[in-house]
Structure 1
Amino acid sequence: MLFKAIKPHHPILKKYVQYVLFNQGFEATTQTSFTSYPNHNICLGIIRGQLVQQPNGQKVLHQRPLISSYLSGLYTKPNTHYVAGCLDEICIDFTVAGYYRFFTLPAKQFVLDGDVLSEAFGAGAIPFFETVFSQADLSTRCQLIEYFLLQVISEKPLEFMEQVINCIDYYGLTRVAQLSQYFKCSEKKLYRTFRTYYDVGPKEYLQLLQFRQCLWYMSRHPHLNLDEIAFHANYVDTSHLVRAFDHFTQQRPSSLKPQLVSVDGQVLITNSDKNTYCP
């Protein structure tokens, strides 16, 4: 398997797009499973094939010649994708605030049915990405994708939700009460707004940010023990960290920590027999 993450170069896109992730598999007889873990971004997935959700919640990629697309919003539980054969997937990962610069579709947990590309960007989107997939060089693909995004971005005034997300990022606020006080609004308003825009509440979102910070500490500082990681990630204690991992990964941190590998400094993957990854 090949994993490649490329950050956008254009200064406008840097505010709204975290990276473009390319997932490729070249063995037609290989069966692979990928488990994505909760993250604070929203992904537009574009595939040569079709992703189908099974009744048990598992997502299976079927190889087909046509391009299909899906949206993956904020979620708080692992999601497993099963792939049989070759894989060619482009994941455009938007910042939480930046997503609504490109979409009017609500950022719910998963949108797998329908033609997301055409619905969001018009009939020319699929032919354009057919051209992108025809390029073997991933840097060239990324340049084309940047060109496309610059054509469809909306430069509308900041909405309330985007102001809240930017405030969290800039000031590092970690409590809903702090947000309520800063914006002089009720916690109920924050809750309603978060649920409408992202399908998670503000407390869940702040917990998600803390969890991802913890993952990066585990990856970048493998010599740290769990007590030290809990301190740097602002958990009350190690037991608090363990409960967060149980909630977000259904694993203990001690079992996940040795598997974490950084892809281009942007994406965390776990390198296991099951080829699990977490964009």
Structure 2
Amino acid sequence: MTMKAQFILPPFAISRCVKNILVVEDAHRSSDFILPLFANGAPTLVFQSVKASRNGKPVGHLTLYGQLIAPSDLVIKGDFTLIAYFFYPYALRSLFDVSGAELTDEHADLHFLKAATDFSLQEKLLNAPALKDRLEEMTTFIQKLMERKAADDKKIVFATTEILKNNGLRQLTDIRQELNVSERTFQRLFELNVGISPKMYRRICQFDAAFQALHLDPKAKLSDIAYQNGFADQSHFIRVFKEFTGFTPSQYLDRLSQYIP
């Protein structure tokens, strides 16, 4: 069994909308491959060369995921290639014309999106001879969406960028005051464009920063990770980690060998 996983920086042409790209290639697999889907603040376009299932429901070759809060697993059978484009949170509405709330904790088969069928994206990806060709097709498709997309709401771009770059530690009241909007307007802005409340998005960014720190150094003290990422204490961090993954950090690390690096 051979598995290769790599993160790729997006081409400059789509970098305003795409944060990063994950590629997983797996051959000679005798058992199902289980990819954990955890909250990371990024709506995601996923292509996989074979069909899969999530929460017992079938998942097609080309799928758009909204904001994830509850943990779930993507189960893939047989040899496969998986390509995931992680978007900035505001791109869901401007690129795909989907209200953020419609896709929270949900996924949609992109094969039914008119822009994707007009471009024959699924057929092109399934018939592409090599990974390089698949990446080119997905990037070209996103460029086409960017050319015809509605203008991003500058307020939501500013708010989500501030929260993300500060790993969820920037005070929401400060951001709201800078934007000069009421709390109700701020809430609606997030629910429409991102699909979750500003508070939940902030919590997810804080969790994801700590989650990445644990990945970078699995031997690090949990208390250090907790304090560096703004948690009240170690038990607060463990509680939040379990909420978003279903595991304690130590349980997750025990299972990490089956997961993607």
In the alignment, the residues of structure 2 paired with residue 257 and residue 52 of structure 1 have an alpha-carbon distance, to the nearest angstrom, of 24
Find the counterpart in structure 1 of residue 85 from structure 2.
Answer: 92
Larger helix proportion, structure 1 or 2? 2
Distance 1:141 1:211 in 2: 32
Pairs within 5 Å for 1:1-279: 1-10=3-12, 12-27=13-28, 29-52=30-53, 57-61=55-59, 68-107=61-100, 108-112=103-107, 115-126=109-120, 128-154=121-147, 156-159=150-153, 160-170=155-165, 174-257=170-253, 270-272=256-258, 276-277=259-260
Deviation at 1:29, TM superposition (A): 4.7
Aligned-residue offset at 1:258: 5.3
SS in 1 for 2:220: coil
Asked if the contact 2:44/2:65 (under 8 Å) is kept, the reply is yes
TM-score by length of 2: 0.83
Letter in 2 for 1:94: F
Check 1:213–1:170 CA distance in 2 against 1; reply closer, same or farther (3 A cut). closer
2: distance between equivalents of 1:249 and 1:98?
Answer: 24
Which structure shows the bigger proportion of residues in strand conformation?
A: 1
Superposition deviation, residue 101 in structure 1: 4.0
Tell me the C-alpha RMSD between the 2 structures.
2.7
For residues 28 and 158 of structure 1, the distance between their equivalents in structure 2, rounded to whole angstroms, comes to 42
On the 8 A contact 1:3/1:23 being kept in 2, the answer is: yes
Shift of the alpha carbon at 1:26?
3.0
3-state SS, counterpart of residue 74 of structure 1:
coil
TM-score under structure 1 length normalisation: 0.78
SS at match of 1:34: strand
Q: In 1, Cα distance between the equivalents of 2:157 and 2:224?
A: 33
The alpha-carbon deviation at position 238 of structure 1 amounts to 0.8
Classify 1:218/1:182 alpha carbon distance in 2 versus 1 (closer, same or farther; 3 Å).
same
Residue 38 of structure 2 aligns to which amino acid in structure 1?
A: Y
User: CA, structure 1 residues 9+112, in 2 after alignment: closer, same or farther (shift >3 Å)?
Assistant: closer
Q: Which amino acid aligns with 1:213?
A: A
Distance of aligned partners of 1:255 and 1:213 in 2 relative to their CA distance in 1, 3 Å threshold: same
- Displacement of 1:99 in angstroms is 3.4
- The residue type equivalent to 1:271 in the other structure is S
Shift of 1:168: 2.5
Aligned partners of 2:94 and 2:152 also within 8 Å: no
C-alpha spacing 1:180/1:112, structure 2 compared with 1 (3 Å)? closer
Give the whole-Å Cα distance in 2 for the aligned partners of 1:139 and 1:4: 13
Structure 1: segments with no counterpart, 5+ residues: 62-66, 260-269
Distance 2:99 2:63 in 1: 13
| Compared CA separation, residues 52 and 175, structure 1 to 2 (3 A) | same
Larger RCO, structure (CA 8 Å, separation 6 or more): 1
Q: For this pair of structures, how many residues does the alignment match?
A: 254
